[in-house]
Amino acid sequence: MIWADASGEAAGRAVGIRLDDGRVIARRVLAVATRMQARTAGLDGLDLPMQDLPDGMGRGVKSGLGALAGAHINSVLAVADADVAVASGLRACS
């Protein structure tokens, strides 16, 4: 991520992404998905059941469908918030 310098209207804001080949793509917003991995060090003796998370999102302790449903709802809400933020930024640019 490339940040604006300390002066000017965009100071401290993201202004672009530098790719591995050196090209810079102008961007004001960037969303990324991370892979989750439960920290289970020290819990080996408990034989906790592990599960792969949907859509290749990682691996975690199996805790029932309620927790998984809650995580999915949270991700849907986060995407909706991001969509609103991007849309409002696009309106501000036009």
Amino acid in the structure at residue 42: G
Q: How far apart (Å, rounded) are the C-alpha atoms in residues 82 and 70?
A: 18
Residues in the chain: 94
Sequence-separated contacts (24+) of 34-42 with Cβ below 8 Å: 36/60
pLDDT at residue 91 greater than cutoff 70:
no
Q: For residues 44 and 90, what is the distance between their CA atoms, to the nearest angstrom?
A: 49
Residue 16 in contact with residue 25, Cβ under 8 Å?
Answer: yes
Mean pLDDT of 40-67: 74
Stretch 19-32: mean pLDDT? 83
Given the DSSP bridges, would you call strands 24-26 and 2-3 parallel, antiparallel or unpaired?
A: unpaired
Percent of the chain with pLDDT over 70: 73
